[in-house]
Amino acid sequence: MCGIVGYAGRRQALPILLDGLRRLEYRGYDSAGVAVLNNGTVEVRRAAGRLENLVERLAQDPIPGGQVGIGHTRWATHGRPSDVNAHPHCDCSGQFAVVHNGIIENHAALRRRLEDTGHRFTSETDTEVIAHLLEAEYDGDLAEAVRRVVAQLEGAFALVIATRREPGRIVAVRQESPLIVGLGRDENFVASDIPALLPYTRRIHVLENGEMADIRADRVTVTDWNGKPVQKAFIDVTWDADAAEKGGYPHFMLKEIHEQPQALADALRGRLDPDGARVVFEDLSLTPEDARRLRQVYFVACGTAYHASLAAALLTERLAGVPARAEIASEFRYRDPLVDEHTLVVAVSQSGETIDTLSALRAARERGARLLGIVNVVGSSIARDCGDVIYTRAGPEISVASTKAYTTQLAVAALLAVYLGRARGTLGDHQARELLAGLRDLPELARETLDQAGELRPVGEALAQARDLYYLGRGLDWVTGMEGQLKIKEIAYIHAEAYPAGELKHGPLALIEDGSPVVVVSTQPDLHRKTASNVQEVKARGARVIAVVREDLDDLGAEVDHLIRIPRVHPFLTPVLAVMPLQLLAYYAAAARGADIDKPRNLAKSVTVE
């Protein structure tokens, strides 16, 4: 998830590009750059870090002027954040400048082909292949060249391209990643999202997959990739700047909950190979041979990432046939863990900066363990320390309470378990195919799950009055309960606890009284009947039960007060969907209490102290 902006008009492009980038920084902020067409040259300036670094660079090395340009604020997926990996990217001759949001899945093959024909690359990004392909394909018409280039790309992309060969024009294309065109008087714009354009125009076209916009000061032409004109309707945007940044949602948390289908699609992109019934991790140095030598796996993490680790350990043990467990990072490092060179220690972290997780990793390294990161922020400390890393590609998460980072961690954990299971020969072809099919369906099923958001609102609002809440489930459903209780604690400040449902009778049942709200998660066919008995036990003591149940299972007895269905998916993947209603219940409870949802009291997004 990056921010893109482009301008063609009569004003100076640079201030408009920088202003647009400032409004898009919530989409990424690890580096930024601009390219402005000026007197037959493409003037490119780029800088790692926040936008201010780019502004400083421009002060030292100004761009003389220019009325057409493109800009980018980056959230890295390929290549660590740095000056050379910042966009725009150019070809060898510096004729073309490209900004990109998305992932080019076949970039490695394209890069090899281009290098064989003499192209020299300067960055580690997937994007740079596009600039070189343009150089190879250009024949006097930018739109034609872009058409020939996109035909060779696999993956997701929003691209905006400028060339000094045609200085009055920029071309934009969209496949999966968002892009809008803004229409002004004697000036036109393109951007990833509405906030960038609000000060300039409120008339927009939303580009659809497979569409291309040819943008000049006095006109915009939209076509498909074959050049066939497309008639586009205008939308008049009525949002204010704050609402636009949150995509029209009142809080980043709700926006990020609804971004989960897209985040899951990004996390899985290019990693499923159904033909070979295997998982593909580009750049992973842990070979199948290494995987076979493992004798145990630890997942270490904090907070929400610890809950993802609990699921990861269960899946790894089941699918890869190796003892696996999750540990709270701050506990792990101080208890002299028994790890050695046959141990894989996987650090799970959204930010990649959590000091407890980082320290646990260092303790594991000292003992000779093999390290792996499941991390969202590219180039973060944990990613660098691990060396080997699988990125979750959730995009920036702004709300302190984690949502899309969690579900992408779960998806990546499932991928890793399949990868290890295939490598170790413990996961058969048929079961691997079933899991890969389930993973492929997740983004769409996530969308279906979130369609119930409206119905969940009154249920969440009713929870706002609760003093204590209990979450029950078995196995992976207990993990979902753990994450559900953390969410409602974090943002609604309601005391909540999750228990393995079988433990109920060993203590917590004493706390259940008339009207006690109990959230039950039951998505595992083999455990459903057992959980149903626990529902009876709490109902008999007067509990008010909200149940999250996989749609093909029975409804746990008629006494359930509110039944929430999630779509049918492989039992090992249900945690990804089952947590979504719990995120929403917490959100609506917090909203009803008037809490500061995106910035809960006493909490921080990234904790870099012990």
Specify which residues 73 forms β-bridges with.
3, 32
Site for ligand G6P, residues 453 to 472, rule: CB under 6 A? none
Cβ 351 to ligand G6P shortest distance, Å: 3
In contact, 137 and 149? CB cutoff 8 Å:
yes
Annotated catalytic residue 2: yes
Cβ 286 to ligand G6P shortest distance, Å: 21
Letters for 371-400 (x = contact with ligand G6P by CB under 6 A, - = none) are: -----------------------------x
Q: In what order do the strands lie in the sheet with 170-175?
A: 89-90, 96-104, 155-163, 170-175, 211-215, 220-224
Which run of H or of E encompasses 479?
A: helix 476-492
Strand intervals (E) in 350-405? 370-375, 389-391
Choose which of 350, 392, 449, 523 interacts with ligand G6P (CB under 6 A): 350
If the CB atoms of residues 354 and 523 are measured against ligand G6P, the closer one turns out to be: 354
Cβ 98 to ligand G6P shortest distance, Å: 31
If the CB atoms of residues 230 and 398 are measured against ligand G6P, the closer one turns out to be: 398
Which one from 2, 90, 302, 386 is the annotated catalytic residue? Answer: 2
Cβ 575 to ligand G6P shortest distance, Å: 16
In contact, 316 and 324? CB cutoff 8 Å:
yes
Choose which of 31, 123, 357, 534 interacts with ligand G6P (CB under 6 A): 357
Buried/exposed code over 123-151 (b: 16+ C-beta within 10 A; e: otherwise): bebbbbbbbbbbbbebeeebbebbbebbe
If the CB atoms of residues 53 and 359 are measured against ligand G6P, the closer one turns out to be: 359
Using CB under 6 A as the binding criterion, the count of chain residues that bind ligand G6P stands at 15
Annotated catalytic residue 386: no
Cβ 64 to ligand G6P shortest distance, Å: 42
Residue 438 as a binder of ligand G6P (CB under 6 A): the answer is no
Residue with the closest Cβ to ligand G6P? 303
**Cα radius of gyration rounded to whole Å, the chain:** 25
Choose which of 136, 328, 509, 607 interacts with ligand G6P (CB under 6 A): 607
Cβ 358 to ligand G6P shortest distance, Å: 9
If the CB atoms of residues 319 and 345 are measured against ligand G6P, the closer one turns out to be: 345
If the CB atoms of residues 101 and 357 are measured against ligand G6P, the closer one turns out to be: 357
Site for ligand G6P, residues 275 to 314, rule: CB under 6 A? 302-305
Cβ 400 to ligand G6P shortest distance, Å: 5
If the CB atoms of residues 328 and 464 are measured against ligand G6P, the closer one turns out to be: 328
118: left (phi over 0), alpha (psi -120 to 50) or beta: left
In contact, 201 and 183? CB cutoff 8 Å:
yes
Distance of alpha carbon 318 from the chain centroid: 26
In contact, 134 and 98? CB cutoff 8 Å:
yes
Give the Cα separation of 126 and 224 in Å (integer): 24
**If DSSP codes are grouped into helix, strand and coil, which group holds residue 361?**
helix
Structure tokens at 116: 């064989």
Tell me the CA distances in angstroms from 513 to 229, 349, 429, 470, 570, one per residue in order.
66, 38, 49, 12, 35
Residue 583 as a binder of ligand G6P (CB under 6 A): the answer is no
Contacting residues toward ligand G6P, per CB under 6 A: 302-305, 349-351, 354, 357, 400, 402, 603, 605-607
Provide the annotated active-site residues. Answer: 2, 605
